[in-house]
Amino acid sequence: MSNNEECKEMKRTKSDEWEVVEWCNLPGDLLSRIASYLELIDFLSFRSVCKEWLIPPSEYNPSCRELWFLLYGEGSQCSFLKLGSQSPNSERLYTVNFPELDGATCLASYLGWLLLVQEGAMFFFCPFSRAKIDLPDCPFTDLSEHVAAFSADPTCQDCVVVVVSRKSEVELELHLLRRGNKEWHKHCHRCVRSTLNTVSGAAFSEEKFQFLDADDGLVTFNADGKSSKSWANYRIVNHGSSKDVETLEYHVRKNMFGVLNIGQRLGFRGGEDDVVSISICGTMILGIQWLHILRNDSVILSETIVPDQQHVALARQIKGVWIQPRYVQVPPGLTW
């Protein structure tokens, strides 16, 4: 049988006769229905069969609350762990090649987009579609406690990016870029470590950027440019302890890597000669009435020893990021 014959099926006509129909000519509604049953990685393979099977991404919408874990940091080869949300049998581990992640560091993850810094350049990258959006000149050269967040899908006209870091023991420094602007704007805020220690999480909600530490510190920044007071300091309290104050209910998760046993699920065994250090970028999931934040994290994997400073210094240094599985395409000619 020839290749052409292999790509055809038999279809009964109204006259009760059979005719040959090529697979590439299947009806669009049938292709969309087939695609709706596919996992994201299978959907990507499905679209690559032929140009007629390029189902629009708008017709494929995995759960916005589903989370995957992306492991990178050793060249361009990366690992995707799809967590088994429904059952352990639905868990999958994929190996993918991403040259865009070779030598890069992720500062933020939201809506399936990663905000990356690589060799002095900053850009958005969607691993599932390979879409990339370059940003104007990166405002810093060295990464040191830098954490970022962005307010919306990078293709939105009103998207805002902020990168915050500690300028000194008593001051935070924030760089802000709005889509359509070519220059970053700097804002500083007097903030001692007792108010906000090392920033371990960032999010955008209710028109404010929110920065959290590993304890109960919270600092917000209003980026609308209309408020006379852009910065505000808060303390995170338990639910229900401030009934007379208007609050935003959200959930902050710590050490999700350890809670979900991601190291073992990725295949790490961490013997004495194979200590692994993973720097993890968190993400946020925005619901109707809640904000779910996964903090940034750093873990040392070793099953046979208790790592000391020497083992940590010699550990394999790799990176990870929590990401929502979304397939996003960039309109032709899109610029920031």
Tens-place pLDDT, residues 99-134: 999 999 999 999 999 999 999 899 999 998 889 999
Is there a single domain that holds both residue 260 and residue 296? Answer: yes
- Computed over every residue of the chain, the mean pLDDT equals 79
CA atoms within 13 A on the CB side of 51: 0
Is there a single domain that holds both residue 29 and residue 103? Answer: no
Alpha-carbon distance values, 303 to 74, 263, 275, 287, 298 (Å): 21, 11, 9, 37, 16
Q: What is the mean pLDDT of residues 316-330?
A: 87
More reliable by pLDDT, 251 or 197: 197
Is there a single domain that holds both residue 78 and residue 53? Answer: no
**pLDDT at position 66, please?**
77
Which tokens go with 5?
């014959």
Is there a single domain that holds both residue 247 and residue 231? Answer: yes
Question: Is residue 309 included in any domain, yes or no?
Answer: yes
* Residue at a domain's end among 63, 86, 121: 63
> pLDDT tens digits for 37-64?
777 777 777 777 777 777 665 555 555 5
Give the count of domains, the chain: 2
β pairing state of 113-118 and 104-110: antiparallel
Question: Is residue 336 included in any domain, yes or no?
Answer: no
Question: Is residue 117 included in any domain, yes or no?
Answer: yes
Is there a single domain that holds both residue 70 and residue 118? Answer: yes
Is there a single domain that holds both residue 41 and residue 75? Answer: no
Is there a single domain that holds both residue 42 and residue 82? Answer: no
More reliable by pLDDT, 21 or 203: 203
Is there a single domain that holds both residue 131 and residue 264? Answer: yes
What contacts 187, CB < 8 A, 6 or more positions away? 173, 174, 175, 176, 221, 230, 231
Q: What is the spatial distance between Cα 70 and Cα 81, in angstroms, rounded to a whole number?
A: 6
**pLDDT at position 15, please?**
54
Is there a single domain that holds both residue 56 and residue 109? Answer: no
In this prediction, what percent of the chain has a pLDDT beyond 70?
Answer: 75
**pLDDT at position 305, please?**
40
State which residues form the domain around 240.
64-323
Question: Is residue 210 included in any domain, yes or no?
Answer: yes
Is there a single domain that holds both residue 55 and residue 153? Answer: no
More reliable by pLDDT, 306 or 192: 192
Question: Is residue 223 included in any domain, yes or no?
Answer: yes
Question: Is residue 330 included in any domain, yes or no?
Answer: no
pLDDT over threshold 70, residue 287? no
Is there a single domain that holds both residue 137 and residue 41? Answer: no
